[in-house]
Each structure stands twice: as C-alpha cells, then as structure tokens.
Homo-oligomer: A and B are copies of this chain.
C-alpha cells in the first residue's frame, strides 16, 4: 500500500557493486585495461580501483601482465563454464552441433533468448578466414535473424507483444520492421516449424533455424547459415531437423533422469 513514488532508494554504490563495475569495464572492444583506464571507465577514484583490482586479481578474476595491463582472469572463464547456459545447454548440444556441421559443411549456431535479445551460445565455422560477424556471447536481434525469429515465435505471447512494439532496427532492405509483418512471419514460423531468413540481418546470408523444446517450452534454437547460397537448403533442413530432434530428446531425457534443472 505504498503510495510513495517508486524512487529507487539506491543512490550509493555498494562495495560489491563497485567491484563488479570494475569487471564490467572490460568488454570485447577493451579486453585489456590499465588501472587508470579502469578508473576513468568506471568513474571510481584510482585509489579505490587500485584496491579493488588488487583483490580481484587475488581471487583470479583479473590478471595483470608484464606491462601493467589488466585482463579478465582465468577463474572467470572457469566459472562461466559452470553456468547453466554452458553446462546444461552447450555441452549437451555440442555433439549434435558437430554432426550438423559435419553434414552440412555450413556455419552452425545455437542460441537462447535472454531479455529482449537472442544470444549465441555456440557457433561453429570451419572456415578459417571468415570475417567474424558475431561471436559466441554476441547479442543479436530477435526480429531479424532465423534463430531469433524461432525463439520469439515460440515464446510467451507477452514477450512477443513486447518485442513487436519495439522499434525494429532495419539492418538490410530485407529486414522486417513492421509490427504486422513480423507477427505474420512469426505465425509462418510456427506453421512451418522452422524459420527461414534471407539477408534480413546480413546481406547474402541465408539462414534456417528450428526450435528445441524441453517439456513443451522452447529452450533454444539451432540454425544453419550459408553465405552466397552455396548449400542445398533442403539437405540442410533435413539435417537441422534431425539435430534438433536429437538434442530435444537428449535434454528431455536428462531432465527426466537428472534431479534438477
């Protein structure tokens, strides 16, 4: 019964929040930072960063190289591997993805939904010199990619409504940017059971994606991308379907057998 305005009573930053913001200063574009760079990036006084960074290094969350640059520590990587998205998804998916890659010879991807984005959990390419567009961990739009559309199509109506109302960025001339058009496409995806996207995000990239269900709810999406229409889509689709079926079955099997999540 609080009639008080929802003013967040959090003007100050706790020590923990500060420590996390030190870690947050690192990004794909800035994977290496000096003390003073961290200080500037976070707005925290150098002396404070000095102490916090020291403690984080102590714990293995940061590491410091010979030229006084910090980067994120190996402990952080190890902990990331304990995350459900890795241990309960990518690890189980891997054999299926490998086989799918083996059969199709194309780029294969696994994505989940997080918030209002799709996130690549795994991505396999055997082309060495490919200009990497998006890496594992990248966030990509739900409306403009095959995996995104699949993830969205089978999500709760509430989420669909929310995304549909968002301003839909136009990445290429083929990107779906209209609310009605997107809703129609999502409906198509559900009818077909898979998504097909040609040049909606990256020109020249043709992708198909299919859903992975656990207990009837969508858990992830698998996709196959090929550039410049090299591959036989029919064949890719068959392989994709098989991979998704196998993966779904495995997840459900583990869920039934395993005690938790």
Contact = CB atoms under 8 A, between A and B. Distances in A.
Given A73-B83, A80-B79, A82-B72, A128 B55 contact: no
A170 interface: no
A50 interface: no
Interface stretch (A26-34, A152-160, A177-185, A189-197): A26-34
A43 interface: no
A101 interface: yes
Interface bracket on A: 35 or more
A86 B77 contact: yes
B16 A56 contact: yes
A44 to B, nearest CB: 13
A5 interface: no
Interface string A206-230: 0000000000000000000000000
A16 B17 contact: no
Contacts of A94: 124-125
Interface in A36-80: 52, 55-56, 58-59, 61, 65, 69, 71-74, 76-80
Q: Which of A72, A76, A102, A250 is most buried by chain B, counting CB atoms within 10 A of its CB?
A: A76
Contacts of A77: 80-81, 83, 85-86, 137
A58 B17 contact: yes
25 contacts: A16-B19, A16-B59, A17-B55, A17-B58, A19-B19, A20-B56, A20-B59, A26-B79, A28-B87, A71-B82, A72-B83, A74-B85, A76-B80, A77-B80, A77-B86, A79-B80, A81-B135, A91-B135, A91-B136, A94-B125, A95-B127, A95-B128, A98-B98, A99-B126, A128-B246
